[in-house]
A = this chain, B = another copy of it.
Amino acid sequence: MATKCENCPLRQHDVFEDMSPEDVRFMQRFKVGEMAVDPGTPILMEGSNSPQLYTVLNGMGLRYKMLANGRRQVVSLIFPGDFVGLQAGIMGEMGHSVEATTKMTLCVFDRSEIWKFFKERPERAFSLTWLAAVEEHFLGETLSTLGQRTAIQSLAWALVRVFVRGRSLGLVHNGAMSFPFKQQDIADALGLSLVHTNKTLAALKKKQLAHWSEGSLRVSDLQGLADIAMIDDLSPARRPIL
């Protein structure tokens, strides 16, 4: 039933660092199971200390934080290959909640075993830290977007990042990829109102740069989008996988 790490379909993508056979075997031993969840399922809650950590095998989701006034900040979108629960695993408390947007299947690991990464498999521990660094890097870029980019620049930035990431995961076919989020999700990710997000997306469509509708994202002019977004490096960050 469950996917064997040995046959993990994710590792074939070039974005992911190679993994030694020993590492693969180690992870297999560490993997306690597989979990399938439906759209809308909460996976981790802010402030909680989950006993389980996950690597996303497939499906998409999002990380978010709620404020006391009811407003929601989407911290990041979650794609296959992402590791979920690092903060719980290391600090013992999540700083955000995690929720499934589509059906997802997750590889399940035991939090209590994390220490074995460090004790027995330093290579794996290094990969975990690497993943944390990648996340920090990305959050810094997101911060720059919310703080310094205009609405249209922000949207362009987000679509470029999504598209490039999707492409690196083999999710793009004929110039389009599945993008199952709601406009409200993206609005909450960029600190924009739903209305303005909608109008700005219409502007991008009119400029023949990107079309997003019915859960499908088509980028017609990636370089044009990147120019608006002031992005110079279109290569996706190479990263390890757990």
Contact = CB atoms under 8 A, between A and B. Distances in A.
Contact of A146 (B69, B123, B146): B146
Contacts of A190: 147
A232 B95 CA distance: 13
Contact of A133 (B69, B132, B143, B144): B132
A144 B67 CA distance: 8
Interface stretch (A84-92, A200-208, A212-220): A84-92
A141 B69 CA distance: 15
A150 to B, nearest CB: 10
Nearest to A90: B133
A63 to B, nearest CB: 8
User: Most chain-B Cβ atoms within 10 A of its Cβ — which of A90, A96, A123, A237?
Assistant: A90
A122 B118 contact: yes
A135 interface: yes
Contacts of A173: none
A122 to B, nearest CB: 4
A75 B140 contact: yes
A96 B132 contact: no
A114 to B, nearest CB: 9
Contact of A75 (B128, B143, B188): B143
A interface residue count range (under 10 / 10 to 19 / 20 to 34 / 35 or more): 35 or more
A142 interface: yes
Contact of A65 (B87, B123, B126, B141): B141
B95 A141 contact: yes
B71 A191 contact: no
Contact of A122 (B75, B87, B122): B122
Interface string A105-131: 000000000010011001101101110
Interface in A50-84: 63, 65, 67-69, 71-73, 75
Contacts of A136: 86-87, 95, 132, 135-136, 139
A125 B133 contact: no
5 contacts: A91-B137, A128-B129, A132-B133, A136-B139, A139-B140
Interface of A: 63, 65, 67-69, 71-73, 75, 86-87, 90-91, 95-96, 115, 118-119, 122-123, 125-126, 128-130, 132-137, 139-144, 146-149, 188-191, 230, 232, 237
